[in-house]
Amino acid sequence: MLEYFVGTWKFVSHLNLSDYTQAFAFANLHGFGITTRDHDSLPKPIITISRAGDVMMIKTESPIEKTETSFKLGQEFEETTADNRKTKSLVTMEDDGSLLHAQKWGGNRTLIRRKVVDNIMVVECTIKNVTSSRVYQRVQEKHFGEP
């Protein structure tokens, strides 16, 4: 099932981002750099997910920031997020085939659920019962010998 996530994904759209960023603000988090205005002008990230044995890597790149996270399924790890939070994180494979990424810090918790269906990856981020969804399209890889 992990093979479905491996590849490069380009941002297509988002849903409910304003409510989600407000939930972050109400959680009194330091360093959260997204305002609740003008989300359409935000950079459109590219996500690359790869795997080497039992280690998964998720790299997110935009013109203003780059993050990279490596982990083993089911093993807690320390993570520094794009907004500079230091979290205890755990990624698990759910029965429905989604990856569930739980982050805990300072009495707070975020959940990031990644699901892949027909070369579309939906990333649902939840904090305090507020969920935002981002949709990514798989970038078609060019194979050797193709024009």
Count of CB atoms within 10 A of residue 31's CB?
9
DSSP line for the chain: -GGGT-EEEEEEEEESHHHHHHHHHHTT-SS----SS-GGGS---EEEEEEETTEEEEEEE-SS-EEEEEEETT--EEEE-TT--EEEEEEEE-TTS-EEEEEEETTEEEEEEEEEETTEEEEEEEETTEEEEEEEEEPPPPPTT--
Whether 147 maps to a domain, the answer reads no
Whether 143 maps to a domain, the answer reads no
Tell whether pTM > 0.75: yes
Number of domains composing the chain: 1
| Tally of residues, the chain | 147
Q: Which residue segment(s) compose the domain that 85 sits in?
A: 2-138
- Written as tens digits, the pLDDT of the chain (147 aa) is 788 999 999 999 887 566 656 665 555 454 444 444 444 555 688 999 999 999 999 999 988 888 899 999 999 999 988 778 899 999 999 999 999 999 998 888 999 999 998 889 999 989 888 888 899 999 966 444 444
Q: What is the CATH number of the domain that holds 44?
A: 2.40.128.20
Whether 73 maps to a domain, the answer reads yes
Whether 23 maps to a domain, the answer reads yes
Residue 1 has a pLDDT of 76
